[in-house]
Amino acid sequence: MDVFSDPANRDVYITGFLWILKLTLAGGAGALILGVLLAAMRVSPVPVLRGFGTAWVNIFRNTPLTLIIFFCYFGLFSTLGFSIADDIDLNNFWLGVVGLSVYTAAFVCEAIRSGINTVPPGQAEAARAIGMSFRQTLTMIVLPQAGRAVIAPLGSILIALCKNSTIVGTIGLMESSNAMKDLINANGNAVIAIFLVFAGTFAVVLIPTGYAFGWLAGRLAVKR
């Protein structure tokens, strides 16, 4: 552990995990918003919207995340000149958020849709019978119950997103995997200790997170 007694090495370690935290929070927020919209499309009475939602899920769920991240960087940024920020690290961060969001949204969509399927059809039929529109039925009746039913699956998706965030390091962002690589290159005699610290940090954060989502799912479960 002498490696982390050096303030410079500690800064590399902390900065790497701060980027992971930011990627997880921003990517999770984007994926949740987009995933809910896609789920609404998949249960929509409009065939075009259903087709779009189905195509999105099938394409992105079966495309490796690395390819999506590479497309965001080499396709959108390098080739098409699409830039979100002037600072290169910040630009790479937001490109990573875009890639993580569109990929993870496919899984969020399916989780939300499975929650929608747990809501008794009679409730939606009753809502339509009293004159509520599809949007009103979905937002006021169906989604609140569906959300409570899929807390545990969404927690698993968030945990997977946190681990997937390390892939953004492939486009140059100094997140935890790149930080670990740099520390190992500079301190080859402490490779095992460095790995254990980084792996342990993920475990210390993600294992309690999984238990927390499990507890919350039980607490908020819809009693039928």
* Exposure b/e, 78-99, CB count within 10 A at least 16 = b: eeeeeebeeeeeebbbbbbbbb
Q: 């294992």: which residue's tokens?
A: 207
* Region 205-211 average pLDDT: 95
- What pLDDT is recorded for position 53? 95
Task: Name the burial class of residue 204, with classes exposed (0-12), middle (13-18) and buried (19+) by CB atoms within 10 angstroms of its CB.
Answer: exposed
Identify whether the C-beta of residue 63 lies closer than 8 Å to the C-beta of residue 107.
no
Identify whether the C-beta of residue 207 lies closer than 8 Å to the C-beta of residue 163.
no
Point out the least confidently predicted range of 61-75, 154-168, 176-190. 176-190
The Cα 172–Cα 136 span in angstroms is 44
Domain boundaries, the chain: 7-220
The Cα 24–Cα 69 span in angstroms is 15
Using one digit for the tens of pLDDT, what is the confidence trace for 129-141?
Answer: 888 888 888 888 8
Is residue 207's pLDDT more than 80? yes
- What pLDDT is recorded for position 4? 82
Q: Which pLDDT band holds residue 224 (cuts at 50, 70, 90)? A: low
Q: 């479960």: which residue's tokens?
A: 221
Is residue 117's pLDDT more than 70? yes
Is residue 23's pLDDT more than 60? yes
Using one digit for the tens of pLDDT, what is the confidence trace for 38-85?
Answer: 999 999 989 999 999 999 999 999 999 999 999 999 999 999 998 898
Q: Which pLDDT band holds residue 33 (cuts at 50, 70, 90)? A: very high
- What pLDDT is recorded for position 219? 87
Is residue 223's pLDDT more than 70? no
More confident residue, 150 or 125: 150
The CATH superfamily of 7-220 is: MetI-like (1.10.3720.10)
The Cα 42–Cα 51 span in angstroms is 7
- What pLDDT is recorded for position 1? 57
The Cα 93–Cα 172 span in angstroms is 9
pTM of the predicted model as reported, rounded to 2 decimal places: 0.91
- What pLDDT is recorded for position 41? 95
Distances (CA, A) of 53 to 18, 57, 75: 33, 6, 23
